[in-house]
Amino acid sequence: MRYGHFDDKKREYVITRPDTPLPWINYLGCEAYFGIVSNTAGGYSFYRDARLRRLTRYRYNNAPFDFGGRYIYLRDNGDGKFWSPSWQPTRQKVDDYSCRHGMGYTIIGSTSNRIKAETLYFVPLGENLEIWQLSVTNLRRKSVRLSVFSSVEFCLWDAQDDATNFQRNFSTGQVEVDQGVIYHKTEYRERRDHFAFFACSEKLAGYDSQRDVFLGAYRGCDNPTAVERGRSFNSIAHGWAPIGSHHVKLKLKSGETRRVIFLLGYHENLKDQKFDPPTSQTINKRTVKPTIAKYLKQAAVDHAFEELRQYWDRLLGRYQTKTPDEHTNRMVNVWNAYQCMATFNMSRSASFFESGIGRGLGFRDSNQDLLGFVHMVPERARERVLDLAATQLETGGAYHQYQPLTKRGNDDVGSNFNDDPLWLILSVAAYLRETGDWSILDEQVTYNNKPGSETPLYEHLERSLHYTLDRLGPHGLPLIGRADWNDCLNLNCFSDTPGQSFQTTTNKDGKVAESVFIGGMFVLAARELAEIAARRSLHSDAEAYRKAAERMDETVRTKGWDGEWFLRAYDDFGRKVGSKECEEGKIFIEPQGFCVLAGIGLQDGLARKALDSVSKMLATRHGIVLQQPAYSKYYLHLGEISSYPPGYKENAGIFCHNNPWIIIAEAMMGNGDRAFDYYLRINPSAREKISQLHRCEPFVYAQMIAGKDAPTHGEAKNSWLTGTAAWNYVAITQFILGIRPTYEGLMIAPAIPSKWKGFSVSRVFQGVRYNINVRRAGKRNRVRLKVDGHALDGNLIPKPAAGVTQVAVEAVLE
**Residue 717 sits in the site that holds ligand GLC (CB under 6 A):** no
**Residue 416 sits in the site that holds ligand GLC (CB under 6 A):** no
Closest by CA position to 490, among listed 577, 551, 608: 577
How many residues belong to the site for ligand GLC (CB under 6 A)?
16
**Interacting span for ligand GLC (CB under 6 A) from 137-145, 211-219, 388-396, 485-493:** 485-493
State the DSSP code for 535. H
Give me the least distance between CB of 326 and ligand GLC, in Å please. Answer: 28
**Residue 34 sits in the site that holds ligand GLC (CB under 6 A):** no
**Residue 568 sits in the site that holds ligand GLC (CB under 6 A):** no
- Quick check: 611 and 592 in contact, CB under 8 A? yes
**Interacting span for ligand GLC (CB under 6 A) from 177-185, 259-267, 479-487, 540-548:** 479-487
Measuring CA to CA, how many Å separate 278 from each of 55, 187, 271, 274, 720? 25, 17, 11, 7, 45
Closest CB to ligand GLC among residues 15, 346: 346
Measuring CA to CA, how many Å separate 502 from each of 568, 635, 642? 19, 12, 11
321: burial class by Cβ within 10 Å (0-12, 13-18, 19+)?
buried
Give me the least distance between CB of 486 and ligand GLC, in Å please. Answer: 5
State the DSSP code for 326. H
Query: Parallel, antiparallel, or unpaired: how do β-strands 796-798 and 790-792 relate?
Result: unpaired
Closest CB to ligand GLC among residues 235, 427: 427
Closest CB to ligand GLC among residues 208, 365: 365
Instruction: Write out the binding residues for ligand GLC, residues 81-120 only, by CB under 6 A.
Output: none
Q: Is the peptide bond before 798 cis (omega within 30 degrees of 0)?
A: no
**Interacting span for ligand GLC (CB under 6 A) from 34-42, 261-269, 359-367, 566-574:** 359-367
**Residue 176 sits in the site that holds ligand GLC (CB under 6 A):** no
Residue type at 599 in one-letter notation: G
How many angstroms separate the CA atoms of 343 and 656, rounded? 15
**Interacting span for ligand GLC (CB under 6 A) from 337-345, 472-480, 483-491, 777-785:** 483-491
How many angstroms separate the CA atoms of 478 and 483, rounded? 11
**Residue 365 sits in the site that holds ligand GLC (CB under 6 A):** yes
Closest CB to ligand GLC among residues 18, 404: 404
Give me the least distance between CB of 502 and ligand GLC, in Å please. Answer: 6
* One of 127, 202, 487, 562 touching ligand GLC (CB under 6 A): 487
Helical (H) or strand (E) element with 379: helix 378-390
Closest CB to ligand GLC among residues 346, 785: 346
Residue 439, C-beta contacts closer than 8 angstroms, at least 6 positions apart: none
Measuring CA to CA, how many Å separate 85 from each of 39, 115, 141, 220? 11, 9, 20, 17
**Residue 339 sits in the site that holds ligand GLC (CB under 6 A):** no
Q: Which residues pair with 206 in a beta bridge?
A: 247
**Interacting span for ligand GLC (CB under 6 A) from 42-50, 362-370, 391-399, 444-452:** 362-370
How many angstroms separate the CA atoms of 350 and 342, rounded? 10
How many angstroms separate the CA atoms of 677 and 751, rounded? 12
Instruction: Write out the binding residues for ligand GLC, residues 500-559 only, by CB under 6 A.
Output: 503
**Interacting span for ligand GLC (CB under 6 A) from 143-151, 215-223, 482-490, 579-587:** 482-490
Closest CB to ligand GLC among residues 641, 751: 641
How many angstroms separate the CA atoms of 461 and 611, rounded? 30
Q: Give 80-105 as a DSSP string.
A: --EE-TTSTTT----EEEEEEE-SSE
**Residue 649 sits in the site that holds ligand GLC (CB under 6 A):** yes
**Residue 486 sits in the site that holds ligand GLC (CB under 6 A):** yes
Residue 70, C-beta contacts closer than 8 angstroms, at least 6 positions apart: 35, 37, 41, 43, 56, 119, 121, 130, 132, 152, 264
**Residue 371 sits in the site that holds ligand GLC (CB under 6 A):** no
**Residue 703 sits in the site that holds ligand GLC (CB under 6 A):** yes
Give me the least distance between CB of 52 and ligand GLC, in Å please. Answer: 19
**Interacting span for ligand GLC (CB under 6 A) from 195-203, 305-313, 357-365, 796-804:** 357-365
- Quick check: 201 and 278 in contact, CB under 8 A? no
Closest CB to ligand GLC among residues 202, 571: 571
* One of 11, 211, 274, 348 touching ligand GLC (CB under 6 A): 348
Closest by CA position to 591, among listed 549, 621, 562: 562
Closest CB to ligand GLC among residues 122, 648: 648
Closest by CA position to 486, among listed 621, 385, 631: 631
How many alpha carbons lie under 13 Å from residue 62 in its C-beta half-sphere?
17
Closest CB to ligand GLC among residues 176, 640: 640
- Quick check: 778 and 813 in contact, CB under 8 A? yes
**Residue 728 sits in the site that holds ligand GLC (CB under 6 A):** no
Helix residue ranges per DSSP H, 48-164 = 159-162
Establish whether 487 is a catalytic residue. yes
Closest CB to ligand GLC among residues 328, 392: 392
* One of 202, 650, 697, 709 touching ligand GLC (CB under 6 A): 650
State the DSSP code for 374. T
Backbone angles phi, psi at 207, to 5 degrees: -155, 170
* One of 356, 362, 591, 698 touching ligand GLC (CB under 6 A): 362
Residue of minimal CB distance from ligand GLC?
A: 487
How many angstroms separate the CA atoms of 720 and 733, rounded? 19
487, 553, 571, 572: the active-site residue: 487
Is residue 592 classed as helix, strand or coil in its secondary structure?
A: helix
CA angle 587, 593, 596 (to 5 degrees): 115
Residue type at 500 in one-letter notation: Q
Give me the least distance between CB of 785 and ligand GLC, in Å please. Answer: 37
Give me the least distance between CB of 752 and ligand GLC, in Å please. Answer: 29
- Quick check: 591 and 578 in contact, CB under 8 A? yes
**Interacting span for ligand GLC (CB under 6 A) from 51-59, 181-189, 212-220, 361-369:** 361-369
**Residue 206 sits in the site that holds ligand GLC (CB under 6 A):** no
Give me the least distance between CB of 2 and ligand GLC, in Å please. Answer: 28
Q: Which residues pair with 184 in a beta bridge?
A: 175, 196
Closest by CA position to 464, among listed 515, 394, 537, 384: 394
Closest CB to ligand GLC among residues 40, 592: 592
Give me the least distance between CB of 470 and ligand GLC, in Å please. Answer: 23
Is residue 778 classed as helix, strand or coil in its secondary structure?
A: coil
**Interacting span for ligand GLC (CB under 6 A) from 133-141, 218-226, 484-492, 511-519:** 484-492
Closest CB to ligand GLC among residues 288, 569: 569
Closest CB to ligand GLC among residues 644, 770: 644
* One of 94, 99, 488, 542 touching ligand GLC (CB under 6 A): 488
How many angstroms separate the CA atoms of 334 and 340, rounded? 10
Closest by CA position to 69, among listed 39, 111, 95: 39
**Residue 640 sits in the site that holds ligand GLC (CB under 6 A):** yes
Under the rule (CB under 6 A), what is the footprint of ligand GLC? 348, 362, 364-365, 485-488, 503, 640, 649-650, 657, 703, 722-723
Looking at the annotation, which residues are catalytic?
487
